[in-house]
């Protein structure tokens, strides 16, 4: 066996679990110890500064410079007491990971000593050397600088010896260059729209918060294996590899060495998360071998998004100590279940009500139905935006591949709520008679049980499912930043709730009672949104046909899905809700198109390299062995016997030659296709060309390589095989 594969296998197989024992500390003792949360703020800040930050967090109030100095000083003292020496503005540029620029608290003084310095200015605003972050042309056309600005709604935390301050990243002229800025704006928009609608039901509601609980799936593979697979190293996924004899089809969970090592990894990860105030609960079993899941208790959406971005970093770091590599890719192994990140979403009032949870009273349920039906209507009207918000080169492998929801967006609500909507849809237009209203309130609205039966019997094939007290957006990819789908979901909800308020108010102005106006509007919405509701099997072919008849989109690739972002419908939506202006939307679109093109381009180069420089030479070597053997037989044997015994080997030689030549010619053709695509003028055309002209070569080349893997002597094959990657 080639040394590279042999050594990797040896290393992985000899790996001992690295025990992790955090000692006997109770979770309650360590939870949030590295977070500048309200508790530590109270301890380290003046009452004035504390009040001001709380106001900023809860009401979006501005913090003035003098107060910012006090906050900075408190934050610094706290951080230093925890051993921090540096601070950084922590942000989420559109590259998909997090970014930091560390600065020391220390400043030398004239007398040769040093002081610890951290001022309000340094807290509030900073100019990172941002020229290498994608800006979609914004900073070219405007200012050549971007800056980060403190987001007081997400608490600062410490990683290692660095105080990390969550920030937004915007261009000098104020355009969003990150994931967080539009999210914060969308959350603000949905807050004000939902609060106004809540006023119909409860005047005490002053604020509505979007909540998010994500479920992160991932694979763990041994670092030695990882290092021996250039495709996984460079692209996060295997670009070739024959399916193992034993895959997930047995649906058993493999209790080899990984699970024990993984358990220690998870224990340490959990511990780190608790210290960072991330309320996680790990889960051990996923569908595929070496696949796992992590999910926290839900939180306010902005904090939850930050926690997800943070955890993706922390996972990498902790994994390294256990000699693991975390694969966040949506589809690391062909033929093996991929990874997603379900986004559980709801809206909660400051009076403690989950607006997507059925309640005990008819009045509470009318409020629930209002938000529930508006959410369905929003998804109906903007399903293309939701589709665009989860589009990525990686996720294209998952959507519609019969393991994840299809690329068709639909909503599952369960049979009980389907019945409720059917009843409401039957209502006549106009004011209801008092008897009818009582009847509806008691027998329809009042009959929605607090715990829905469907809650346990969910439809796993739906991309957007109601699960009892929240919607679960299941099509989100495992490596995605949740901010993107959360921005989309909250902005469409905001827009829809505004529309609802306008529609209801219009009826009220026309003389209708409030209840009647609400019933009438909801009835219309149910009628208008029918086509998005689907209770059946989302993986079935018949659904694809049915969806087409219903006029639902089925956009299979990222470049086409992204096109919706720049439609006038989407731009209007973003602008009218104050989430992004046209320049920002277009910049983002360009960045995402470029990102797509780059990913496919890298995959194409790596595949070409592996196929040409690893697979073909190996195949040639094996072929030579066969030729040698056949030649020997020919010398030894008479013609007749030779014919008889060498036939299969001759066939094999021919087959190997054939496959080698196909690989070489397809690889050349792929390079030509890349060259042509690179010449195109704009990012969109390039992305489309990469999708339509370059990507199709992947399967063709892979097919030949995987066939060769089965033909060639295992002793010669240089790359760790699927069974070794997944089961070692």
**Binding region for ligand ADP (CB under 6 A):** 211-213, 215, 295, 297-298, 344-346, 354, 467, 469-470
Q: How far is the CB of 457 from ligand ADP (least distance, A)?
A: 12
Task: Please choose which of Mg ion, ligand ADP, none residue 649 contacts, taking the beta carbon within 5 to 8 angstroms, the exact cut-off set by kind.
Answer: none
Residue holding tokens 């008679």?
Answer: 433
Query: Which range touches Mg ion (CB under 5 A), out of 85-93, 201-209, 339-347, 447-455?
Result: 339-347
Q: How far is the CB of 489 from ligand ADP (least distance, A)?
A: 11
Instruction: Quote the CA–CA distance of 452 and 434 in Å, as a whole number.
Output: 29
Task: Please choose which of Mg ion, ligand ADP, none residue 211 contacts, taking the beta carbon within 5 to 8 angstroms, the exact cut-off set by kind.
Answer: ligand ADP
Q: How far is the CB of 474 from Mg ion (least distance, A)?
A: 7
Token pair in block for residue 359: 């309640």
Q: What angle do CA 458, 459, 465 make, to 5 degrees?
A: 85
Our CB check for ligand ADP shows the closer of 77 and 455 to be: 455
Task: Please choose which of Mg ion, ligand ADP, none residue 297 contacts, taking the beta carbon within 5 to 8 angstroms, the exact cut-off set by kind.
Answer: ligand ADP
Query: Could you give the string, one character per residue 182-221, with x where binding to Mg ion holds by CB under 5 A and - elsewhere?
Result: ---------------------------------x------
Instruction: Quote the CA–CA distance of 571 and 576 in Å, as a whole number.
Output: 8
Our CB check for ligand ADP shows the closer of 85 and 469 to be: 469
Instruction: Quote the CA–CA distance of 201 and 192 in Å, as a whole number.
Output: 15
- 342 sits near Mg ion (criterion: CB under 5 A): yes
Q: How far is the CB of 470 from ligand ADP (least distance, A)?
A: 4
Q: How far is the CB of 304 from ligand ADP (least distance, A)?
A: 8
Residues pairing with 150 in the sheet: 167
- Contacts for 267 with CB less than 8 Å, ≥ 6 apart: 20, 22
Q: How far is the CB of 296 from Mg ion (least distance, A)?
A: 13
Our CB check for ligand ADP shows the closer of 342 and 588 to be: 342
Our CB check for ligand ADP shows the closer of 209 and 520 to be: 209
- 387 sits near Mg ion (criterion: CB under 5 A): no
Q: How far is the CB of 655 from ligand ADP (least distance, A)?
A: 46
Token pair in block for residue 36: 């500048």
Task: Please choose which of ligand ADP, Mg ion, none residue 261 contacts, taking the beta carbon within 5 to 8 angstroms, the exact cut-off set by kind.
Answer: none
Residues pairing with 147 in the sheet: 170
Instruction: Quote the CA–CA distance of 671 and 722 in Å, as a whole number.
Output: 27
Give the CA count within 13 Å in the CB-facing half-sphere of 141: 10
Our CB check for Mg ion shows the closer of 289 and 468 to be: 468
Q: Dihedrals φ, ψ of 327, to 5°?
A: -100, 115
Our CB check for Mg ion shows the closer of 215 and 594 to be: 215
Chain position whose Cβ is nearest to Mg ion = 342
Our CB check for ligand ADP shows the closer of 285 and 568 to be: 285
Q: How far is the CB of 487 from Mg ion (least distance, A)?
A: 21
Query: Judged by CB under 5 A, how many residues of this single chain contact Mg ion?
Result: 2
Q: How far is the CB of 218 from ligand ADP (least distance, A)?
A: 15
Give residue 430's region: left, alpha or beta (phi > 0; psi -120 to 50).
Answer: left
Our CB check for ligand ADP shows the closer of 44 and 298 to be: 298
Got the DSSP string for 161-179? TEEEEEEEEEETTS-B-BS
- Which residues, 88 to 117, sit near Mg ion by CB under 5 A? none
Chain position whose Cβ is nearest to ligand ADP = 213
Our CB check for ligand ADP shows the closer of 470 and 523 to be: 470
Instruction: Quote the CA–CA distance of 509 and 43 in Å, as a whole number.
Output: 52
Task: Please choose which of Mg ion, ligand ADP, none residue 455 contacts, taking the beta carbon within 5 to 8 angstroms, the exact cut-off set by kind.
Answer: none
Our CB check for Mg ion shows the closer of 215 and 709 to be: 215
Task: Write down the number of H helices and E strands in the chain.
Answer: 27, 17
Give the DSSP H/E element, type plus range, for residue 586.
Answer: helix 582-610
Using DSSP's 3-state secondary structure scheme, residue 130 falls into helix
Query: Could you give the string, one character per residue 215-254, with x where binding to Mg ion holds by CB under 5 A and - elsewhere?
Result: x---------------------------------------
Q: How far is the CB of 314 from ligand ADP (least distance, A)?
A: 17
Token pair in block for residue 297: 């208790």
Query: Which range touches Mg ion (CB under 5 A), out of 151-159, 193-201, 338-346, 694-702?
Result: 338-346
Q: How far is the CB of 221 from Mg ion (least distance, A)?
A: 24
- Contacts for 372 with CB less than 8 Å, ≥ 6 apart: 356, 413, 417, 466
Q: How far is the CB of 345 from ligand ADP (least distance, A)?
A: 6
Work out the widest C-alpha separation in the chain, in whole angstroms. Answer: 105
Task: Please choose which of Mg ion, ligand ADP, none residue 470 contacts, taking the beta carbon within 5 to 8 angstroms, the exact cut-off set by kind.
Answer: ligand ADP
Instruction: Quote the CA–CA distance of 41 and 49 in Å, as a whole number.
Output: 9
Q: How far is the CB of 215 from ligand ADP (least distance, A)?
A: 6
Percentages helix, strand, coil for the chain (3-state, rounded to 5) are 55, 15, 35
- 470 sits near Mg ion (criterion: CB under 5 A): no
Task: Please choose which of ligand ADP, Mg ion, none residue 295 contacts, taking the beta carbon within 5 to 8 angstroms, the exact cut-off set by kind.
Answer: ligand ADP
Query: Measuring CA to CA, how many Å separate 358 from each of 28, 301, 372, 607?
Result: 32, 21, 10, 52
Q: How far is the CB of 274 from ligand ADP (least distance, A)?
A: 16
- Which residues, 531 to 550, sit near Mg ion by CB under 5 A? none
Positions of E strands within 533-573: none
Q: How far is the CB of 55 from Mg ion (least distance, A)?
A: 35
Our CB check for ligand ADP shows the closer of 215 and 594 to be: 215
Our CB check for ligand ADP shows the closer of 171 and 467 to be: 467
Query: Measuring CA to CA, how many Å separate 484 from each of 96, 154, 302?
Result: 11, 17, 11
Q: Are 482 and 375 in contact (CB under 8 A)?
A: no
Task: Please choose which of Mg ion, ligand ADP, none residue 354 contacts, taking the beta carbon within 5 to 8 angstroms, the exact cut-off set by kind.
Answer: ligand ADP
Task: Please choose which of ligand ADP, Mg ion, none residue 469 contacts, taking the beta carbon within 5 to 8 angstroms, the exact cut-off set by kind.
Answer: ligand ADP
Our CB check for ligand ADP shows the closer of 285 and 542 to be: 285
Our CB check for Mg ion shows the closer of 342 and 394 to be: 342
Instruction: Quote the CA–CA distance of 477 and 391 in Å, as a whole number.
Output: 8
Q: Dihedrals φ, ψ of 654, to 5°?
A: -65, -45
In 3D, which of 122, 80, 77 has the Cα closest to residue 103?
122
In 3D, which of 290, 280, 284 has the Cα closest to residue 214?
280
Our CB check for ligand ADP shows the closer of 469 and 649 to be: 469
Our CB check for ligand ADP shows the closer of 215 and 709 to be: 215
Instruction: Quote the CA–CA distance of 197 and 192 in Å, as a whole number.
Output: 9
Residues pairing with 125 in the sheet: 149
Q: What DSSP character marks residue 346?
A: E
In 3D, which of 280, 334, 342, 231 has the Cα closest to residue 599?
231
Task: Please choose which of Mg ion, ligand ADP, none residue 236 contacts, taking the beta carbon within 5 to 8 angstroms, the exact cut-off set by kind.
Answer: none
Cα torsion angle, 226, 232, 238, 241, sign: negative
Task: Please choose which of ligand ADP, Mg ion, none residue 212 contacts, taking the beta carbon within 5 to 8 angstroms, the exact cut-off set by kind.
Answer: ligand ADP
Q: How far is the CB of 183 from ligand ADP (least distance, A)?
A: 15
In 3D, which of 80, 4, 3 has the Cα closest to residue 36?
80
Residues near Mg ion (CB under 5 A) are 215, 342
């Amino acid at each position: 066996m080639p040394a590279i594969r042999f050594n990797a296998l040896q290393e992985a197989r000899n790996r001992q679990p690295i025990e992790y024992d955090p000692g006997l500390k109770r979770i309650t003792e360590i939870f949030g110890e590295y977070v500048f949360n309200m508790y530590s703020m109270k301890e380290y800040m003046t009452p004035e500064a504390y009040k001001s930050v709380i106001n900023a967090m809860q009401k979006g109030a501005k913090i003035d410079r003098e107060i910012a100095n006090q906050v900075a000083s408190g934050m610094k003292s706290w951080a230093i007491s925890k051993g921090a020496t540096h601070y950084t503005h922590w942000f989420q540029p559109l590259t998909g990971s997090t970014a930091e620029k560390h600065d020391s608290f220390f400043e030398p003084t004239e007398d040769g000593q040093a002081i610890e310095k951290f001022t309000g200015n340094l807290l509030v605003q900073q100019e990172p050397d941002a020229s290498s972050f994608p800006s979609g042309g914004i900073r070219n056309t405007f200012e050549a600088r971007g800056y980060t600005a403190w987001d007081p709604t997400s608490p600062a935390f410490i990683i290692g010896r660095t105080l990390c301050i969550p920030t937004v990243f915007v261009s000098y002229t104020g355009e969003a260059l990150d994931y967080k800025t539009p999210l914060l704006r969308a959350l603000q928009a949905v807050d004000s729209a939902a609060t106004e609608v809540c006023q119909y039901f409860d005047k005490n509601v002053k604020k509505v918060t979007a909540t998010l609980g994500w479920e992160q799936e991932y694979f763990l593979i041994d670092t030695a294996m990882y290092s021996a697979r250039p495709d996984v190293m460079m692209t996060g996924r295997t670009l070739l590899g024959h399916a193992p004899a034993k895959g997930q089809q047995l649906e058993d969970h493999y209790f080899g060495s990984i699970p024990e090592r993984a358990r220690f990894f998870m224990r340490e990860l959990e511990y780190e998360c608790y210290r960072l105030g991330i309320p996680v609960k790990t889960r051990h079993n996923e569908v595929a071998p070496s696949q796992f899941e992590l999910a926290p208790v839900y939180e306010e959406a902005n904090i939850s998004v930050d926690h997800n971005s943070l955890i993706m970093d922390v996972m990498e770091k902790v994994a390294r100590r256990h000699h693991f590599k975390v694969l966040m890719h949506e589809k690391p192994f062909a033929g093996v279940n991929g990874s997603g990140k379900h986004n559980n979403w709801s809206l909660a009032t400051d009076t403690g009500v989950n607006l997507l949870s059925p309640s005990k009273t008819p009045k509470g349920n009318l409020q629930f139905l209002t938000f529930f039906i508006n959410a369905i209507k929003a998804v109906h009207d903007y399903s293309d935006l939701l589709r665009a918000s989860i589009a990525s080169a990686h996720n294209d492998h998952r959507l519609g591949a019969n393991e994840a929801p299809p690329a068709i967006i639909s909503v599952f609500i369960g049979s009980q709520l389907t019945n409720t909507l059917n009843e409401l849809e039957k209502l006549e237009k106009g004011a209801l008679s008092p008897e009818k209203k009582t009847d509806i309130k008691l027998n329809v609205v009042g009959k929605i049980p607090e715990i829905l039966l469907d809650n346990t019997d969910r439809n796993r094939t739906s991309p957007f499912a109601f699960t009892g007290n929240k919607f679960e957006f299941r099509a989100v990819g495992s490596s995605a930043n949740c901010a993107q789908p959360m921005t989309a979901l909250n902005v469409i909800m905001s827009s829809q709730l505004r529309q609802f308020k306008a529609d209801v108010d219009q009826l009220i102005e026309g003389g209708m009672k409030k209840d009647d106006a609400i019933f009438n509007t909801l009835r219309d919405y149910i009628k208008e949104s029918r086509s998005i509701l689907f209770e059946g099997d989302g993986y079935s072919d018949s659904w694809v046909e049915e969806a087409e008849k219903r006029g639902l989109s089925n956009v299979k690739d990222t470049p086409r899905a992204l096109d919706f972002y720049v439609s006038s419908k989407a731009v209007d939506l973003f602008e009218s809700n104050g989430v992004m202006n046209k320049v920002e939307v277009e910049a983002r679109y360009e960045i995402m198109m470029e990102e797509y093109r780059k990913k496919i381009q890298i995959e194409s180069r790596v595949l070409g390299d592996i196929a040409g420089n690893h697979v073909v030479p190996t195949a040639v070597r094996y072929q030579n062995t066969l030729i040698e053997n056949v030649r020997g037989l020919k010398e030894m044997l008479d013609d007749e016997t030779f014919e008889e015994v060498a036939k299969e080997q001759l066939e094999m030689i021919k087959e190997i030659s054939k496959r080698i030549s196909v690989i070489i010619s397809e690889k050349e053709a792929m390079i030509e296709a890349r060259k042509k695509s690179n010449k195109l003028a704009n990012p969109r055309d390039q992305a489309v060309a990469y999708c339509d002209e370059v990507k199709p070569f992947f399967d063709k080349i892979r097919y030949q390589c995987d066939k060769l893997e089965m033909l060639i002597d295992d002793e010669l094959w240089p790359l760790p095989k699927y069974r070794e990657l997944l089961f070692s």
